[in-house]
Amino acid sequence: MGKPMTKNLLKAGYDILAYSRRQESINEMIPLGAQAAKTIADVAQNCDIIITMLPDGPDVKEVILGSDGVLTHAKSGTVVVDMSSIAPAVAQEIHAACIKKDVDFLDAPVSGGEPKAIDGTLSIMVGGDFAVFERVRKVLLTMGASAVHCGEIGAGNTTKLANQIIVALNIAAVSEAINLSNKAGVDPQKVFEAIKGGLAGSTVMNAKLPMIIDGNINPGFKLDLHVKDLLNVINTAEAVDAQIPFTTQILEIMQNLQKQGYGQNDHSVISKYY
């Protein structure tokens, strides 16, 4: 996700100092105009806006809060925008540490997967101080078609968790419906054409049903990452006493598929359960 997002920032004319644990990712950015940072400290000391895009909360904490992380080196007034999908409580913990260093923090996870990261049409959901959000809104809209301020710190990731519930259950519903169609002898492509313009139609259906019909499980968004997000849903729901019975059930199905070796495939592989 980070590479196409960086490419869109470069296309928009921003000066980018890039750091990654994967040198090949940096090598790909340099011909496009990015400068390579040797360490996290290089980024923190030289950038007014620092954007992180990492797999999960522990990774974000290591990069921002670690002994040689962003907060050790960042200047007063720096804005840190974490665009990873993490637990809201972790975002709040990082924010509390940033306050002590006079660094502003936003949690700004995205939805749309790699295809929308490539074409710059991600949906970005943001938690944090509105004035800080306004300072970076233009930057965010270089990477996304929308950037919505959802509330205080953690609200961005709470919104992303809600998004991930809806996406997972939509894929399950599409898979279940197509399984029924197949068993009844009705062409799934005809079913898709007939219903996509009606109330059942959705962005999820349009993106994932053709993949299911074609048997294409190449990842746009990996099952492993979606499982990670739903585990964060479970933990957050327990903390706020929210009832999530359908999420619990689809998580069980997805974890079963992980055990079968599908974790690195697209989350539309949920259809394989049927």
Beta bridge partners of 20: none
The one catalytic residue in 3, 160, 208, 222 is: 160
User: CA-to-CA distance for 71 and 80, rounded, in angstroms?
Assistant: 9
160 has catalytic annotation: yes
> Are 123 and 111 in contact, with CB atoms under 8 Å apart?
yes
User: What CA–CA distances, in Å, run from 160 to 14, 42, 83, 229, 274?
Assistant: 27, 30, 11, 9, 27
User: CA-to-CA distance for 161 and 84, rounded, in angstroms?
Assistant: 12
How many C-beta atoms lie closer than 10 Å to residue 226's C-beta?
23
User: CA-to-CA distance for 60 and 69, rounded, in angstroms?
Assistant: 10
User: What CA–CA distances, in Å, run from 213 to 153, 171, 191, 197?
Assistant: 40, 13, 11, 18
User: CA-to-CA distance for 208 and 16, rounded, in angstroms?
Assistant: 34
| Active site residue ranges | 160
